[in-house]
Amino acid sequence: MQYLPVCLQVRNSPVVLVGGGTVATRKARLLLRAGANLNVVAPQITPELQLLLAEHGGNWQQSRYRESDLHGRMLVVAATPDREVNKQVHADAMALNLPVNVVDSPDLCTFIFPSIVDRDPLLIAISSSGRSPVLARQLRRKIEAMVPAAYGRLASFAGRFRDRVKDAIPEETPRRLFWEQVMEGAVAEQVMGGREARAEELLETLLADTSGHHNGEVYLIGAGPGDPDLMTFKAVRLLQSADVVLYDRLVSAGILEMSRRDAERIYVGKRRDDHAVPQGEINQLLVDLAKAGKRVVRLKGGDPFIFGRGGEEIELLARHRVPFQVVPGITAASGAACYSGIPLTHRDHAQSVRFVTGHLKDGSSNLDWASFQSETETLVFYMGLVGLPIICEQLQAYGRRADTPMALIERATSSEQRVITGTLATMVDRVEREKPRAPTLIIVGSVVELHEQLSWFGKE
């Protein structure tokens, strides 16, 4: 280990920055954000640096560097384009036993600036010991994607209750286990969801009840249309915290593998006329598992609130006062359209879009077909494969032209995605020949004409 990682308190402390160019401005931005009392020594400085100093109360000493500029300082940074000036700053700082950083010159540094993931008060620093700053920045970007901004809120929350918990649980080991429970459970999720008052209630309940029996929480998560990369950061985080995962048949194996290895997985998928677990039983199972203290993920394809029956599931949770969160997912219409090169709206084709369930009850045409006649509106039918003949027939019967373009997208966003195009007059025959399998999505409207021009999925 070439450097000792430390976190240095510089708030209201005198720091000198030699240099006023673009690189110096970047360092000034960081030092001022940390609250340093900054003095910049340079004949000229950038307009941005002038604004930063004015905003944070820093000082610009418009002159060339002199050794006396370091007197009374606690930290020194040199960021000039002149190697000789930088070397002199380093030598003077060493003579005064001051920590010094010379930008892009590891040999002249007694400390270096890491790449920082800032979730104040939580900080994550990545350093390559000055060997490869670009690699450190790349790793920072990866970590930033894994650590939501709300973690800073969680760290602040824990800090406010640190003494309270210490008084309630004096012994170190039980106190550590308690905080682990808090950080991995419903309290943390309430904080990160912006519901700190509720989090405080839950924390006090945990402190008051030493039996360890507490309600869990339910996370209703939209898994998107299939591609694991379309999951949101929040969805992945909650999925990886779950004790139990209830999943649909539309959830891909890649997404399911994101859950914890030791999490219990319960299949509750449905096919036409074949419900593995009836909806009422699913609703009750969510309540029962949460009341047993489990963190439960209800993982649904697409978005829970678009033909996903998510509203029915959380109704029972709300009635039983079970904490829950709903995480939106990219709905199948959006995923299928984007991966097929079919924009759902387009200035020259469609100014609105309508989502319709194609799962017609008892095979009957119980939809308001007369309202589907606008040529400037895109129609998207979910679960419409079985009802395709009725859809094509009724749209034409109520006035849509027989040559209206339409597309059927099979297994959207996956490596097996297939797009079948045709018209209201030809699509039934095409589907009969191609024999696609669910899940499928149907798009009707002139936007389908753009498929060949704009599609990219699966092309090199």
d(CA 11, CA 163): 24
Q: Which residues are catalytic?
A: 248, 270
DSSP state at residue 406: E
DSSP state at residue 302: B
Q: Is 335 annotated as a binding residue?
A: no
- pLDDT given for residue 270 in this prediction: 67
d(CA 373, CA 196): 48
246 SS3 class: strand
* CATH superfamily ID and name for 215-330: Tetrapyrrole methylase, N-terminal domain (3.40.1010.10)
Q: Is 44 annotated as a binding residue?
A: yes
333-454 CATH fold: 3.30.950
pLDDT tens across 119-164, in order? 989 999 999 888 888 898 899 988 888 888 889 999 999 999 999 9
Distances (CA, A) of 451 to 204, 230, 368, 405: 56, 21, 28, 10
Q: Is 331 annotated as a binding residue?
A: yes
Q: Is 412 annotated as a binding residue?
A: yes
- pLDDT given for residue 275 in this prediction: 54
| Buried/exposed code over 306-318 (b: 16+ C-beta within 10 A; e: otherwise) | bbbebeebbebbe
Q: Is 225 annotated as a binding residue?
A: yes
The Cβ of residue 201 has, within 10 Å, a number of other Cβ atoms equal to 13
What φ, ψ does residue 95 adopt, rounded to 5°?
-65, -30
Q: Is 303 annotated as a binding residue?
A: yes
d(CA 391, CA 424): 9
Topology agreement, domain 215-330 and domain 333-454: no
Closest to 213 in 3D by CA, of 287, 265, 283, 290: 290
Q: Is 332 annotated as a binding residue?
A: yes
- pLDDT given for residue 91 in this prediction: 97
DSSP state at residue 89: H
What are the start-end ranges of the H helices in 247-331? 253-256, 279-291, 310-319
pLDDT tens across 384-428, in order? 999 999 999 999 999 999 999 999 999 999 989 999 999 999 999
Chain CA centroid to CA 413, Å: 19
- pLDDT given for residue 261 in this prediction: 85
235 SS3 class: helix
Q: Is 20 annotated as a binding residue?
A: no
d(CA 301, CA 307): 10
Chain CA centroid to CA 64, Å: 47
Domain residue spans of the chain? 14-113, 148-213, 215-330, 333-454
Distances (CA, A) of 228 to 15, 77, 378, 415, 438: 47, 44, 27, 11, 19
Cα dihedral value 278, 279, 285, 290, nearest 10: 170
Asked whether the CA dihedral 356, 249, 229, 457 is positive or negative, the reply is negative
316, 210 Cβ separation under 8 angstroms: no
DSSP state at residue 370: G
d(CA 449, CA 447): 5
The class (CATH top level) of 14-113 is: alpha beta
**Whole-prediction pTM:** 0.64
d(CA 110, CA 98): 9
The Cβ of residue 86 has, within 10 Å, a number of other Cβ atoms equal to 22
DSSP state at residue 446: G
Closest to 226 in 3D by CA, of 136, 302, 139: 302
- pLDDT given for residue 458 in this prediction: 44
DSSP bridge partners of 295 = 217
Q: Is 114 annotated as a binding residue?
A: no
- pLDDT given for residue 460 in this prediction: 39
pLDDT tens across 302-321, in order? 999 998 889 989 999 999 98
pLDDT 10s per residue in the chain (460 long)? 788 888 999 999 999 999 999 999 999 999 999 999 999 999 999 999 999 999 999 999 999 999 999 999 999 999 999 999 999 999 999 999 999 999 999 999 999 999 899 898 999 999 988 888 889 889 998 888 888 888 999 999 999 999 999 998 888 877 877 887 788 778 898 898 899 999 999 899 888 875 555 567 899 999 999 899 999 988 998 898 888 999 988 898 899 999 988 889 999 986 655 556 888 999 999 999 998 888 899 999 999 999 888 998 999 999 998 989 999 999 999 999 999 999 999 999 999 999 999 876 555 567 899 999 999 999 999 999 999 999 999 999 999 999 999 999 999 999 899 999 999 999 999 999 999 998 999 999 999 999 988 876 544 3
d(CA 59, CA 279): 67
345, 378 Cβ separation under 8 angstroms: yes
